[in-house]
Structure 1
């Protein structure tokens, strides 16, 4: 009995105590990769460590788009598995006044529920909630193509304890050769509209040669 107790204690100590939402993300990733059972624990820990490395998140973002964020910015989270890539970059203000989400995935993969859940979960946690009070659609240029851009005004909520801040959100996507790229920009505070437009117009697709 003592031996079994020691083994159980060692197993408990070997599992990192990540917040519940971290494990929610890992379960979604494992589902998308088709991994089950003990693979979730071993590979999950490694995935978490890599996901939250700022330089890696920035490298993933820059592999999808050239972008410019006024002031200093830092990679928050980056995911790269198979043909799917996701990155979130925030300004270094506290709280951030600019947050940029970019992703790339084959259209067929986007249809999978786990892939869609991962996008939504990461945006909710690391970009915050956005409650739109008005929406307009404008055709604007993205990566050399005219695409419909959803421009929303509303309230930006960063974390459960924060107060809503007036904000702007730009959402757009572009498809090329069976691959879809998505952009979600949220800005808040003074000159939010100007900041969102500046980041959006700085975007240029990076296509693999």
Structure 2
């Protein structure tokens, strides 16, 4: 009886089978990254974590108490949003459907501390001090970022102390339309930006309701840098 070794038969993989295998691997990677993204997003909207990040940037007092809304560490920087526990409910516009408008926090405090990125220049001349900018949002607040909803009736700049440094503070007063079927609410926004230790510090206080101006000023005066 002759001994023999059976040679394994190689089955060629078609192009479409290769594509299917590659696509499956890509989908697994995407699913893993999506899971991480969802987890990171969930952490960012964790109330306790958001308030802890905010308190690591500044101490503050919001009338009636506060709760964390959003907080994250990004690229060596931090940003956080806290809101008041107290809320205001906009009145329904005439002719609108009789649905109950959603209650909105009367005060929102946005804090950010971001590292500055110096522009590269070909000359050896010293660069001028960079101007701090709020490139994170341009609307009334973090929650209401559409500039079209904020009708400004008065705008001014006041020199106020921010963590021991006199800083220009932009103050805007007007009204905010939170929904198409809701009457506008009195609105006040404070925004302060400054550069310190190669970092851009941004503070935005947004207040709504009949006591908006009083509460925005009260929150601003309570700020203490950490």
TM-score normalised by length of structure 1: 0.71
Q: CA deviation at 1:124?
A: 5.4
Are the counterparts in 1 of residues 140 and 189 from structure 2 also a CA contact under 8 Å?
no
- Alignment partners' CA distance in 1, 2:76 and 2:139: 18
Structure 1 residues 35-184: aligned runs within 5 Å: 40-94=33-87, 95-108=104-117, 116=135, 119-120=136-137, 126-127=143-144, 129-158=149-178, 162-184=182-204
Instruction: List alignment gaps of at least 5 residues for structure 1.
Output: 15-35
- Alignment partners' CA distance in 1, 2:208 and 2:39: 33
Pairwise CA RMSD: 3.1
Are the counterparts in 2 of residues 88 and 126 from structure 1 also a CA contact under 8 Å?
no
Instruction: List alignment gaps of at least 5 residues for structure 2.
Output: 1-19, 88-103, 119-129
Are the counterparts in 1 of residues 193 and 201 from structure 2 also a CA contact under 8 Å?
yes
- Alignment partners' CA distance in 2, 1:159 and 1:41: 31
Q: Cα deviations across residues 57-80 of structure 1 (Å, max 9, x unaligned)?
A: 000100111111010211111111
- Alignment partners' CA distance in 2, 1:61 and 1:87: 5
Q: Identify the range of structure 1 (135-144 vs 40-49) with the bigger mean alpha-carbon deviation.
A: 40-49
Residues 122/84 of structure 1: CA separation in 2 closer, same or farther (3 Å cut): farther
Count of aligned pairs: 171
Q: CA deviation at 1:127?
A: 4.5
Residues 175/93 of structure 1: CA separation in 2 closer, same or farther (3 Å cut): same
Q: CA deviation at 1:168?
A: 0.8
Residues 197/98 of structure 1: CA separation in 2 closer, same or farther (3 Å cut): same
Give every structure 1 segment of 4 or more consecutive aligned residues whose post-TM-superposition deviation is greater than 6 Å: none
Are the counterparts in 1 of residues 51 and 68 from structure 2 also a CA contact under 8 Å?
yes
Larger proportion of helix: 1
TM-score normalised by length of structure 2: 0.66
Q: CA deviation at 1:126?
A: 1.9
Residues 61/160 of structure 1: CA separation in 2 closer, same or farther (3 Å cut): farther
- Alignment partners' CA distance in 1, 2:161 and 2:46: 31
Q: CA deviation at 1:156?
A: 2.3
